[in-house]
Amino acid sequence: MREIVFDTETTGLDFEADRVIEIGGIELWNHIPTGKSFHHFIRPEGRKVDPGAFDIHGISDAMLADKPLFSEVVEEFEEFFGGAKLIAHNATFDMRFLNAELARLGRPLIEQNRIVDTLAMARRKFPMAPATLDALCSRFNIDTSRRDKHGALLDSELLASVYIELIGGRQAALGLVTVETTARGADGAEIRIGPRPVPLPSRLTAAEIEKHRAFIATLGEDALWWAYLPRETEATASA
């Protein structure tokens, strides 16, 4: 499953008048970062950065003077973000601004059913607890030492770590040992860990296996069992 964890910075708080000035996003595949990212500073047409917004993200009008317009990066944006589930913190804010930018260009809007809001996730999981990105990073011991101002790409990286913790931590699936490895016991001796070199013998007798086959036969041609254990291998699997 492909997901994009993203963040935006804007000239202010009014999505109808203010503009997006930074977009950052990182790609996850099955909840694991792939190393692929999207990042652009964007020159806002006809809009200056509000002082209050500058205090938060530190992006000035002078910094944006030579940056591309949203219209110049929109195709790259759509290619990177397209078809993926989109993860954001306080997603309503980001989506209003992005869809306003897309609407100005007559481009398809991002549908709400693609959005996951980590702010809402955190509030459900930790009722009454602080749910800012900084608070969640602190809760999950995620290093924020590089963050002195808000920044779309860095905040996306931090949010990806928070999101993985919110959905159950870094072990995304039950992982059983399938390859041989080694460990050391309490006495320092090396222990081999891995699949058994010789499978254990079946505990079923031949009579029990035959009884099982006879029972499965009574379930009919549409029995769900056959989808998992075809008839030609069922006896072997049972053994």
Which residue type occupies 180?
E
Backbone angles phi, psi at 33, to 5 degrees: -60, 135
The conformation of residue 109, written as its DSSP 8-state character, comes to: P
**Cα–Cα distance between 58 and 3 in angstroms, integer?**
28
Rounded-to-integer distance, Cα 238 and Cα 40, Å: 57
Residue from 31, 39, 150, 212 carrying the catalytic annotation: 150
Buried b (16+ CB within 10 A) or exposed e, 167-202: eeeeeeeeeeeeeeeeeeeeeeeeeeeeeeeeeeee
Is the Cβ–Cβ distance between 9 and 60 less than 8 Å?
no
Instruction: For residues 8 and 75, give the distance between their C-alpha atoms in angstroms, rounded to a whole number.
Output: 17
150 is an active site residue: yes
Q: Hey, which residues does 2 pair with through a beta bridge?
A: 29
Q: Where are the alpha helices (DSSP H) in the chain?
A: 51-57, 61-64, 70-81, 91-104, 118-125, 133-139, 152-166, 206-217, 225-228, 231-238
Closest CA to 22 of 36, 11, 8: 8
Residues noted as catalytic: 150
